[in-house]
Amino acid sequence: MSNVEQLIALFQFVMHIGDHLAEYGTLAYVILSAVIFSETAFVIFPFLPGDTLIFAAGAFCASGQLNIAILNIVIIASAIIGNTMNFWIGKYLVDRIDIKKAKWIDQAALVKTHLFFEKHGGKTIILARFVPLVRSFAPFVAGVSHMDHHKFQIYNVIGAILWSGLLSVCGYFFGNLPFIRDNLNIIVLIGASAAIIPTMIAGFLQLLQSLKKNKT
């Protein structure tokens, strides 16, 4: 098997690991922790299946193969630590390159980003937990924009608790229903779209309002 084929096989294994999670016994918690931490700590892993993995793990808890209390402790801790690391990576990179002197960075956009996270950073960090892709970038951008770290951590913890609790409990009660189990990826996609589309519409309306103010 070539290196490319091995990478493809590894990718497929990771993306479908939730289907076989209970087979690993206690090691399942380690696998969950590694996936959740990687997805939230590094912007290069936004494709990892955090939502489906937690939901599937909740279903395994219902059948007695995993413990829902231990599951939530592991996921919440991994999500908090992952987001924190992502935040500090963003802040470190910004401080290291001294962005205020970098000509290739739009300073006005940077100021606006900082102001946005100071004003709306809390709810952004919480809502981002439930949106694939955005979940991996939000803490990094918060660090880049120098969002207040204390404020970031408060919403980081709240978001992690809500994310883990809601998905694991939903998986516990509904994960073993045939329709839900067979269409889980589609359901997660619909849920993500429901979270993203209103945000995009709100952003578009704000942009229109800004354009009107500039014209007047």
- Alpha carbon separation from 148 to 18, 93, 120, 121, 200 (Å, rounded): 35, 16, 12, 9, 25
- Alpha carbon separation from 9 to 38, 39, 69, 195 (Å, rounded): 19, 19, 32, 31
CB count within 10 Å of CB 186 equals: 9
What is the value of pTM for the model shown?
A: 0.78
How buried is 26 (Cβ within 10 angstroms: 0-12 exposed, 13-18 middle, 19+ buried)? exposed
Per-residue model confidence (pLDDT) at position 63: 86
Per-residue model confidence (pLDDT) at position 193: 58
Q: What is the pLDDT of residues 77-104, one digit of tens each?
A: 999 999 999 999 988 888 777 655 555 4
Q: What is the pLDDT of residues 147-200, one digit of tens each?
A: 889 999 999 999 999 999 999 998 898 877 776 666 666 666 665 555 555 655
Give the whole-number percent of the chain exceeding pLDDT 70.
64
The Cβ-side half-sphere exposure at 141, using a 13 Å CA radius, reads 22
Per-residue model confidence (pLDDT) at position 216: 56
Per-residue model confidence (pLDDT) at position 104: 47
State the average pLDDT over residues 58-68: 90
CA dist., res. 53 & res. 187, Å (int): 13
Q: What is the DSSP letter of 17?
A: G
Q: Say how many residues make up the chain.
A: 216
**Reported confidence tier of residue 41, pLDDT bands at 50, 70, 90:** very high
